Amino acid sequence: MNINSKSLIAGLPALKARDITRKLSSAFSPRDYARKFSIDIHLATQQIEAFSAEGYFERIANEKHKQYWGMTVKGCALIQASAAKKVKRATADRHYQAFMDRVKEINQSDEYLYQVTKVALFGSYLTDVETVGDIDLFVWLARKPKFESDFEEELELRTALMQAEGRHFKTYLEQGCWPELDVRKHLKNGSRIISIQGHNWGYEQADTKVIFDN
> For residues 3 and 78, is the Cβ–Cβ distance under 8 A?
yes
Q: Give the whole-angstrom CA distance, residue 99 versus residue 186.
A: 9
Whether pLDDT at 158 is above 60:
yes
Global pTM?
0.73
Rg (CA), the chain: 20
* Band (173; pLDDT cuts 50, 70, 90): confident
> For residues 88 and 176, is the Cβ–Cβ distance under 8 A?
no
Where exactly does CATH 1.10.10.10 map onto the chain? 8-80
Instruction: Of 139, 148, 151, 142, give the one whose Cα is nearest residue 115.
Output: 142
**What's the pLDDT score for residue 64?**
60
Q: What is the CATH number that goes with domain 8-80?
A: 1.10.10.10
Instruction: Of 51, 50, 70, 52, give the one whose Cα is nearest residue 60.
Output: 70
The mean pLDDT value for 132-146 works out to 93
Q: Give the whole-angstrom CA distance, residue 51 versus residue 71.
A: 10
